[in-house]
Amino acid sequence: VPRAGLKKYVLPPDYSGIVFPERTKLKFMDKVPAVPKVRREPRQLRDIRGPSREATDFTQGQYGILALGGGYLHWGHFEMIRLTIGRGMNPKTMFAIWRVPAPSKPVTRKSLGHRMGGGKGPIDHYVTAVKSGRLVVEVGGHCEFGEVKPFLTQVAKKLPFPAVPISRDGLREMRQEEEEKRLNNQNPWTFERVVTSNMLGMRKYLSPYDLQLKGRYWGKFFLKHRV
Amino acid sequence: APAAKMAALSGGVAPWCRGWLPALQFVRRGSKAVTRHWKAMHFQRQKLMAVTEYLAPRPAVPPRCLAPRKETVEEDNGYVQLLRRQVEEVFRDNRMIAVCQFNSMPGEDVVLMRHYLRKHNIEVKFVLNEIIRPVLSQSKYKNLLPLFVARNILLVSRETKVKEMLRVLKGVPQINLLGACIDDTILSRQGVENFAKLPSLEATQGQTVGALALLPSQTSSLLQRGSAHLTALLDQHISRLQAAETGSPAEPAPAQSSEAH
In a domain, B103, yes or no: yes
How confident is the model over B30-67, as pLDDT tens digits? 889 999 999 999 999 999 999 999 999 998 888 888 88
Work out how many domains chain B is built from and give that number: 1
Phi-psi region of A198 (alpha: psi -120 to 50; beta: other; left: phi over 0): left
Is pLDDT at A207 greater than 50 in this prediction? yes
Q: How much is the mean pLDDT over chain A?
A: 94
Is pLDDT at B1 greater than 50 in this prediction? no
| Percentage of chain B exceeding pLDDT 90 | 18
In a domain, B128, yes or no: yes
**CB of B50 less than 8 A from some CB of A:** no
Query: Which of A117, A116, A85 shows the shortest CA–CA distance to A98?
Result: A85
Contact: A227, B51; criterion CB under 8 Å: no
**CB of A107 less than 8 A from some CB of B:** no
| Percentage of chain A exceeding pLDDT 70 | 98
Tell me phi and psi for residue A75, to 5 degrees.
-60, -35
CATH class of A18-167: alpha beta
Q: How much is the mean pLDDT over chain B?
A: 82
| Percentage of chain A exceeding pLDDT 90 | 91
pLDDT at B24: 55
User: What are the sequence ranges of the domains in chain A?
Assistant: 18-167
Contacts of A21 (CB under 8 A, 6+ apart): A60, A95, A97
B122-154: b (≥16 Cβ within 10 Å) or e: bebeebbbebbeebbeeeebeebeebbeebbbb
Where would I find the H helices in chain B? 2-10, 43-51, 78-93, 107-119, 129-138, 162-171, 189-197, 201-223, 225-246, 252-260
Is pLDDT at A29 greater than 50 in this prediction? yes
pLDDT at B20: 64
User: Residue B139 is part of a domain; what is its CATH number?
Assistant: 3.30.70.1730
In a domain, B217, yes or no: no
Residue B79: band (very low, low, confident or very high) from pLDDT cuts 50, 70, 90: confident
Question: Chain A closest CA to B169's CA: distance in Å?
Answer: 24
Chain A residues close to B55, C-beta within 8 Å? 185-187
Contact: A189, B33; criterion CB under 8 Å: no
**CB of A46 less than 8 A from some CB of B:** yes
Contacts of A71 (CB under 8 A, 6+ apart): A48, A129, A130, A159, A160, A161, A220
Contact: B51, A189; criterion CB under 8 Å: yes
How confident is the model over B99-127, as pLDDT tens digits? 888 888 888 988 998 898 888 888 888 88
In a domain, B92, yes or no: yes
Contact: A6, B130; criterion CB under 8 Å: yes
Q: Which helix (H) or strand (E) holds A174?
A: helix A168-183
pLDDT at B73: 73
User: Which has the minimum average pLDDT: A33-47, A202-216, B8-22, B85-99?
Assistant: B8-22
Residue B192: band (very low, low, confident or very high) from pLDDT cuts 50, 70, 90: confident
Domain that residue B158 falls in: 78-197
pLDDT at B5: 52
Is pLDDT at B225 greater than 60 in this prediction? yes
pLDDT at A15: 92
Q: Which chain B residue is nearest to residue A72, measuring alpha carbons?
A: B36
**CB of B52 less than 8 A from some CB of A:** yes
What ipTM was predicted for this assembly? Answer: 0.90
Is pLDDT at A156 greater than 90 in this prediction? yes
**CB of B40 less than 8 A from some CB of A:** no
How confident is the model over A168-184, as pLDDT tens digits? 999 999 999 999 999 99
Is pLDDT at B248 greater than 70 in this prediction? no
Question: Chain B closest CA to A196's CA: distance in Å?
Answer: 14
pLDDT at A124: 95
Contact: B54, A9; criterion CB under 8 Å: no
